[in-house]
């Protein structure tokens, strides 16, 4: 036997990505880049917790480790960064990455105030780097299928929308005292706001009314910790939406979305870990996803596949690198943040708060 043909291969240079923040989410993204995203290399890891960075680098075979993201920004071999530090650092890191010419994938929220986010997005705009925000639900297969149905008009004119997040828990929240105030809006419901905006495409969120409490950890109510919230949202097309969240669902990680309209209803959200069902003398049962990285493994991977492909096209001058864009992007990050901030104001005032004038980019 002989080979049918032999020709020189010119493997494309992988997209070299630096990770900023090697905690829970950063470690999973790092593993995706190293093992699940074709044509991407995890080139460097930065984390002030150097032990965390080193352990991850050892596990994934990454050679460059640093305590400071500045080293990654200064490294000419790095094409792009994934920002997965705590949220309070995001806008500064986005601005620094853009100034250094690095393409940016940023976990949500990309900022904690509109002024900070706008400054970061202005840097992105000026330098022309790519920017993607980690609203991973847009990449989940079932949410994508629902979006396709909605785009085809399956629900007709949207009248009611619903999105919910119930984080997995045990009935108490071990590190609750260390969770920053307003996390439920800025880091949890911000996903739901983006889903609703995406499902109700073309409409702008006009007004929010948020009610929130500490029902899982009532002892922390006094210090302002909130673990349960419901938000009603009015949209410019007249549709009314509800978003709700709770930090401790005993049955697992529960994320759903729904649009009800003049022609019908479209739902997304996977209640069980697999399609397997147990029928026994006890009745019917199934396993449920227990972690975000179980429920959204495919979505977390695919969002980075898209990011890496866009960075490659931009870097290597594909068919039309100037046309390379990514969604969810800057406008989506800003619109959802404006809603989260309006919710905080709504809770403080105990009244509805207008969001329209603050939402558009």
Q: Is 21 near ligand NAD (CB under 6 A)?
A: yes
Which residue sits closest to ligand NAD, CB atoms considered?
Answer: 23
Question: Applying CB under 6 A, what is the total number of residues that bind ligand NAD?
Answer: 24
Decide: is 107 part of the binding site for ligand NAD (CB under 6 A). Answer: yes
Q: Which of 15, 30, 37, 69 binds ligand NAD (CB under 6 A)?
A: 69
Pattern of binders to ligand NAD over 126-155, x per CB under 6 A?
Answer: --------x-x-------------------
Residue the block writes with tokens 């870990």: 273
Minimum distance, C-beta of residue 242 to ligand NAD, in the bound complex (Å): 21
Between CA 265 and CA 273, with CA 268 as vertex, the angle to 5 degrees is 145
Task: Tell me the chain's radius of gyration from C-alpha atoms.
Answer: 21
Name residues contacting ligand NAD, limited to 205-234 (CB under 6 A). Answer: none
- The distance of closest approach from Cβ of residue 12 to ligand NAD in the complex, given in angstroms and rounded to an integer, is 28
* φ/ψ (deg, to 5) at 333: -60, -40
Are the C-beta atoms of 108 and 335 separated by less than 8 Å? no
Give the contact letters, 250-279, x = binds to ligand NAD (CB under 6 A), - = no: ------------------------------
Residue 353 tokens read as 């708060």
Tell me which of 18, 26, 168, 252 binds ligand NAD, using CB under 6 A. Answer: 26
Q: Is the peptide bond before 12 cis (omega within 30 degrees of 0)?
A: no
Coil/strand/helix, residue 48: coil
x/- mask, ligand NAD, residues 283-312, rule CB under 6 A, reads ---------x--------------------
Site map (CB under 6 A) of ligand NAD, residues 75-94, x = contact: ---------xxxx-x-----
Strand-pair partners of 259: 161, 266
CB nearer to ligand NAD: give 69 or 266: 69
Three-class DSSP labels, 120-176: HHHHHHHHCCCEEECCHHHHCHHHHHHHHHHHCCCCCCEEEEEEEEEEECCCCCCCH
Q: What angle do CA 229, 119, 312 make, to 5 degrees?
A: 95
Residue 359 tokens read as 């939402």
Residues forming contacts to ligand NAD in the complex (CB under 6 A) are: 20-26, 46-49, 52, 69, 84-87, 89, 107-108, 134, 136, 187, 292
């Amino acid at each position: 036997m002989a080979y049918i043909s032999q020709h020189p291969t010119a493997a494309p240079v992988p997209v070299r990505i630096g990770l900023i923040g090697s905690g829970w989410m950063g470690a999973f993204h790092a593993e995706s880049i190293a093992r699940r995203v074709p044509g991407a290399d995890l080139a460097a890891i930065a984390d002030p917790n150097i032990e965390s960075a080193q352990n991850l680098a050892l596990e994934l075979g990454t050679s460059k480790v640093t305590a400071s993201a500045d080293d990654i920004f200064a490294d000419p071999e790095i094409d792009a960064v994934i920002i997965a530090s705590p949220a309070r650092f995001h806008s500064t890191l986005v601005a620094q990455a853009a100034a250094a010419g690095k393409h940016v994938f940023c976990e949500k929220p990309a900022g904690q105030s509109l002024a900070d986010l706008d400054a970061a997005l202005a840097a992105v705009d000026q330098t022309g780097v790519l920017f993607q925000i980690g609203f991973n639900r847009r990449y989940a297969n079932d949410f994508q299928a629902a979006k396709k149905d909605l785009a085809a008009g399956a629900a007709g004119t949207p009248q009611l929308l619903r999105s919910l997040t119930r984080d997995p828990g045990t009935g108490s929240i071990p590190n609750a005292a260390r969770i920053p105030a307003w996390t439920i809006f800025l880091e949890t419901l911000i996903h739901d706001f983006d889903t609703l905006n995406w499902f109700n495409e073309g409409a702008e969120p006009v007004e929010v009314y948020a009610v929130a409490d500490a029902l899982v950890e009532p002892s922390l109510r006094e210090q302002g910790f909130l673990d349960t919230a419901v938000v009603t949202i009015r949209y410019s097309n007249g549709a009314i939406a509800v978003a709700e969240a709770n930090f401790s669902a005993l049955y697992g990680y529960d994320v759903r979305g729904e649009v009800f309209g003049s022609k019908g209803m479209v739902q997304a959200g996977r209640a069980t870990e697999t399609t397997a069902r147990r029928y026994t003398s006890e009745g019917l049962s199934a396993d449920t996803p227990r972690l975000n990285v179980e429920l959204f493994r495919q979505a977390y991977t695919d969002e980075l596949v898209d990011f890496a492909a866009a960075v490659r096209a931009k870097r290597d001058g594909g068919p039309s690198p100037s046309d390379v864009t990514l969604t969810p992007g800057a406008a989506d990050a800003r619109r959802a943040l404006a809603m989260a901030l309006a919710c905080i104001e709504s809770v403080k005032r105990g009244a509805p708060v207008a969001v329209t004038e603050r939402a558009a980019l």
